[in-house]
């Protein structure tokens, strides 16, 4: 999709993997993540019922050394039918010029903003929260840890969360297939 801003400067926001003339070379390490991904996952946490969810994740870029990120999820029943909308998150993956480090900022409608620092190791990305800031009404989340990987062309991830008095404990994991890009 080509977007033109009010000053008339056209820029590309792309989900595809083609490298354009303006592609910042720091992006190369995370380029395999760029695209639209869909699939299902499983979640749970001490004190809540296990759940199944469907998810769509989008990574896109405009050539500069960061990825735009957006994820939406839906709680589903055992047959895969959606029951209700679930977690959403949106943010930025800032690739550093050493290409091995990534800083991630995520905002959640549930009242959290997270800052992660992570490392890129081939197709694997490991992220740990440096800070979690929450509104007065948000639940008590103190840290998160995320592992992402591309395995056999699929995007896999697992998230551990420290919240409500529990240390880092698995909260959700999923396997997503590339549907575009």
Binding-site residues? 139, 171
Interstrand relation of 154-163 and 48-60 (parallel, antiparallel or unpaired): unpaired
3-state secondary structure of 129: strand
> Which of 30, 176 has the CB closer to ligand HEM?
176
Question: For ligand HEM, which residue of 102, 161, 162, 176 counts as binding (CB under 6 A)?
Answer: 161
Q: Per CB under 6 A, which region of 3-11, 32-40, 60-68, 158-166 contacts ligand HEM? A: 158-166
DSSP state of 42: E
164 is a site residue for ligand HEM (CB under 6 A): yes
Binding mask 127-146 for ligand HEM (x = CB under 6 A): ------------x-x--x--
> Which of 15, 171 has the CB closer to ligand HEM?
171
> Which of 35, 86 has the CB closer to ligand HEM?
86
- CB of 57 within 8 A of CB of 39? no
> Which of 48, 151 has the CB closer to ligand HEM?
48
| Dihedral angle over CA of 89, 95, 101, 102, nearest 10 | -10
- In order of 25, 115, 117, 125, the CA distances from 176 in angstroms are 26, 24, 23, 16
Question: For ligand HEM, which residue of 39, 43, 65, 118 counts as binding (CB under 6 A)?
Answer: 43
Q: Per CB under 6 A, which region of 2-10, 19-27, 85-93, 118-126 contacts ligand HEM? A: 85-93
3-state secondary structure of 45: strand
d(CA 47, CA 49): 7
């Amino acid at each position: 999709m080509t977007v033109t801003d009010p000053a008339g400067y056209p820029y590309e926001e792309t989900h595809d993997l083609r490298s354009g003339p303006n592609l910042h070379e720091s992006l190369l390490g995370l380029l395999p993540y760029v695209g639209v991904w869909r699939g299902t996952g499983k979640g749970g946490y001490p004190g809540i019922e296990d759940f199944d969810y469907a998810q769509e994740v989008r990574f896109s870029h405009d050539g500069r050394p960061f990825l735009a990120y957006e994820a939406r999820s839906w709680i589903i029943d055992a047959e895969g039918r959606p029951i209700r909308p679930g977690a959403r998150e949106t943010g930025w993956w800032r690739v550093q010029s050493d290409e091995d480090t990534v800083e991630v900022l995520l905002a959640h409608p549930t009242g959290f903003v997270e800052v992660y620092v992570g490392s890129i190791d081939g197709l694997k990305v490991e992220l740990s929260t440096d800070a979690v800031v929450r509104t007065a009404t948000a639940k008590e989340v103190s840290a998160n840890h995320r592992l992402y990987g591309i395995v056999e062309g699929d995007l896999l991830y697992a998230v551990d969360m420290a919240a409500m008095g529990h240390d880092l404990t698995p909260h959700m994991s999923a396997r997503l297939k590339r549907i575009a890009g």
